[in-house]
Every structure is written in structure tokens, then in C-alpha cells.
């Protein structure tokens, strides 16, 4: 599995969950809680494999994109803290939907920048074999991802 294809697949999975959340009715608290639990799991795993494997490899293989990578880590930082807050939040809390909405805005912006501006440069700099090897490592690393969003390295600082 090509690393960029794998990451884009993850982005699609998350976008599907976002759409489900947006479609859930006002009173569907239990359903929204379940969807947010899945979002937390997907995004924590995704941030983990990007930060442990893909970002460091891209920093080495596509050094011209370092500014993008550093900004991405700061965006992850905000996202994992929001995920952590959502973890313990009552879905009936008046801040719950607002927090998920801002999370979705942040993630959509981040994904758009990764896919439109950054991935093409990484693909060009790193080539097919290297991306294939990284994809395999990331696929395996998913099993080691933490459940706690704050255990992802960008949570620090």
C-alpha cells in the first residue's frame, strides 16, 4: 500500500464520519456520542502514524517542505487536545456540537493542505518504492496507536 494512498483513505473515512455527524438530528445525543468516539479513534490513529512515520520520513526525503511539516504538527497539536476534551464530554453539553464543528473545520483545512499542497511534493521527492515501504510500516503501526489522543507526540509543548 502506497503511503499517500493510505493516508488519503484515512482522510475519506474521517470525512464520512463528519458527514454522519452533520446529518444526525438535534436530539440524537447517543448517536452523536458514538460517531465522535469513532472520530477520536480514527484521528488519533491517523495522527500517530503520520507523526511517528510519515512526517519524519518526509522531513528527510522532502526537506524543502519542512515549513509545511512544522505547521502540520501545530495543527495536530490543536486537534489532539480537542479530541481529548471531547472524550470526556457529555453530548448534551451545550459546547459539544460547537466543539465538534470547530474540530471538523480544523481537520478539513488540514486535510486540504496535506492533499492539495503537500502530498504532491512529497510524492515527487520520494518516489514509489520509498512510499510503498512507508505505507507498509504505517499499516502495521496502526495496531500500536494509543487510545489517548494526548499520547500522540504533538500533544506536548
- Category of 148 on φ-ψ map: left (φ > 0), alpha (ψ -120 to 50) or beta: beta
Q: Output 12 or 95, the one with its CB closest to Fe ion.
A: 12
Distance from the Cα of residue 112 to its chain's centroid: 12
Place of cell 463528519: 18
For Fe ion, the closer CB: 79 or 97:
79
Distances 87 to 2, 37, 84, 93 between C-alpha atoms, Å: 31, 7, 5, 13
Q: Which 106-135 positions form the footprint of Fe ion (CB under 5 A)?
A: 114
Per-residue mark of binding to Fe ion, 40-69 (x: CB under 5 A): ----------x-------------------
Site for Fe ion in 89-108 (CB under 5 A): none
Q: Which of 114, 76, 95 is nearest to 36 (CA)?
A: 95
- Nearest approach in angstroms of CB 99 to Fe ion is 19
In the complex, the smallest distance separating the C-beta of residue 59 from Fe ion, rounded to whole angstroms, is 13
CB of 90 to Fe ion, least distance (A): 28
CB of 89 to Fe ion, least distance (A): 23
- 98 burial class (0-12, 13-18, 19+ CB within 10 angstroms)? exposed
Interacting residues with Fe ion (CB under 5 A): 50, 114
Amino acid at each position: 500500500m502506497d503511503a499517500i494512498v493510505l493516508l488519503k483513505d484515512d482522510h475519506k473515512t474521517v470525512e464520512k464520519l463528519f458527514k454522519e455527524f452533520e446529518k444526525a438530528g438535534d436530539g440524537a445525543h447517543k448517536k452523536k456520542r458514538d460517531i465522535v468516539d469513532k472520530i477520536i479513534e480514527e484521528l488519533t490513529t491517523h495522527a500517530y502514524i503520520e507523526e511517528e512515520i510519515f512526517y519524519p520520513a518526509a522531513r528527510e526525503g522532502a526537506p524543502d517542505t519542512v515549513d509545511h511539516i512544522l505547521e502540520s504538527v501545530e495543527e495536530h497539536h490543536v486537534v489532539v487536545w480537542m479530541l481529548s476534551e471531547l472524550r470526556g464530554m457529555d453530548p448534551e453539553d451545550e459546547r459539544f456540537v460547537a466543539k465538534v464543528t470547530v474540530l471538523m473545520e480544523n481537520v478539513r483545512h488540514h486535510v486540504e493542505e496535506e492533499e492539495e499542497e503537500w502530498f504532491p511534493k512529497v510524492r515527487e521527492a520520494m518516489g514509489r518504492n520509498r512510499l510503498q515501504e512507508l505505507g507498509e510500516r504505517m499499516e502495521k503501526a496502526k495496531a500500536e496507536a494509543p487510545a489517548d489522543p494526548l499520547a500522540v507526540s504533538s500533544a506536548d509543548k
